[in-house]
Amino acid sequence: MKTFDHSGKVIAVTGGSRGIGEAIVRRLCAEGASVFATFNSAPERAEKIASEIREAGGTVTYLQVNVSDEESVKGFIEAVVTQGGRIDALVNNAGITKDGLIMRMSGKDWQDVVDTNLTGVFYACKAAARPMMQQRTGRIVNIGSIVGLQGNAGQVNYSSAKAGLIGLTRSLARELASRNVFVNCVAPGFVETDMTEKLTEEQKASFFSNIPMKRAAGPDEIASVVSFFIAPESSYITGQVLNVDGGLAM
Ligand SMILES: NC(=O)c1ccc[n+]([C@@H]2O[C@H](COP(=O)([O-])OP(=O)(O)OC[C@H]3O[C@@H](n4cnc5c(N)ncnc54)[C@H](O)[C@@H]3O)[C@@H](O)[C@H]2O)c1
């Protein structure tokens, strides 16, 4: 489904080979953007998505990137600017979970989750800020989570990283607004992806019982909101966190 027109835009998306990221890449391509997306592992999956998008007339390039490695992220943004000629938007979507109650959570599980979900976003924003400021236009959309607002037992690492992402979003929005670069955060609730596939039926039922809409989101219901934050229709919005959660957090 098409919502906004992104014809001619060059957009970078991290973690674009499955789940929410894949939906974002497919939607933005269908809406006319030239998308540069990352995959971390499973190149064959990225290649399959790319060929489907190209067959449908879209423009996409997949590059292998590890968002927790600063050089890798810098190289990705440089490749986008070199090959695409500019960078109109950056969507920081890549993320991982390594859940466990605090007594059983190792320092590595803490660090890995913070490195990927928060530090990786810092690297990407830092690399994209300069070309966006020079262009005097740009959009950054960070994919947070409602657990960054509400917390969640078993996720001190993930919820801390996602809470940090809100601070990053708001601080960067203040830094870049005068250069016409806007930074917002989309905070999904429960979305049907590989990430939530790991949960037991009991855990899912418990989540749904608390959601006023009593269902999970599909990945494209997140992608459409990301598209809005990149579109001219959101031209007076920066530093915001928009919950896309079926009414869970209100
Ligand atoms: N699924 C949900 O219910 C839900 C809810 C709230 C927020 N989110 C957030 O949405 C985003 C996407 O989640 P998803 O459900 O699609 O997850 P997913 O596990 O299906 O996909 C995550 C993506 O991130 C990529 N990735 C992970 N580590 C990486 C690294 N070091 N470098 C580069 N890429 C890496 C993976 O390759 C994959 O493409 C994440 O930031 C997640 O925290 C998801």
Q: What is the pLDDT of residue 205?
A: 87
State the Cα–Cα distance between residues 98 and 102, nearest whole angstrom: 11
Q: Could you tell me the mean pLDDT of each successive run of 10 residues in the chain, 250 residues long?
A: 90 97 98 97 95 98 98 98 98 98 98 98 98 98 98 97 98 98 98 85 87 96 98 98 97
pLDDT the model gives residue 196: 83
Q: Which domains does the chain have, with CATH numbers?
A: 10-244 (3.40.50.720)
Nearest atom in ligand 1 to the alpha carbon of residue 21 is: 16
b/e for 200-222, b at 16 or more Cβ within 10 A? eeeeeeebeeebeeeebbebbbb
The number of the ligand 1 atom at minimal distance from the alpha carbon of 219 is: 16
pTM over 0.85: yes
**Residue ranges lining ligand 1, Cβ < 6 Å:** 14-15, 17-21, 38-40, 65-68, 93-96, 116, 143, 145, 188, 190-191, 193-196
Q: Residue 45: is it exposed, middle or buried by C-beta count within 10 angstroms (0-12/13-18/19+)?
A: middle
For 14-62, write each residue's pLDDT tens digit: 999 999 999 999 999 999 999 999 999 889 999 999 999 999 999 999 9
pLDDT digits (tens, 9 = 90+) for 72-82: 999 999 999 99
Q: Separation of 65 CA from ligand 1 center, angstroms?
A: 14
pLDDT score at 162: 98
Q: What is the pLDDT of residue 1?
A: 67
Which atom of ligand 1 approaches the CA of 222 most closely? 10
Which residue among 17, 25, 76, 93 is best mutated to probe the pocket of ligand 1, counting the most ligand atoms within 8 A of its Cβ? 93
Residue with the smallest CA separation from ligand 1 atom 1 is 191
Q: Which amino acid is at 153?
A: A
Q: Quick check: is 158 catalytic?
A: yes
Three-state SS at 178: helix
Q: How far is the CA of 241 from the centre of ligand 1 (A)?
A: 18
> What distance in Å separates the CA atoms of residue 88 and residue 228, rounded to the nearest whole number?
14
Q: How far, in Å, is the centroid of ligand 1 from the Cα of 178? A: 31
Backbone angle region of 97, left / alpha / beta, with phi > 0 → left and psi within -120 to 50 → alpha: beta
The Cα–Cα gap between 52 and 29 comes to 11
- What's the 22 CA to ligand 1 centre distance in angstroms? 10
Given 62, 123, 158, 236, which residue is catalytic?
Answer: 158
Q: How far is the CA of 195 from the centre of ligand 1 (A)?
A: 7
Residue 194 Cα: closest atom of ligand 1: 20
For ligand 1, atom 19, the nearest C-alpha belongs to 195
Rounded Cα distance between 104 and 154, Å, is 9
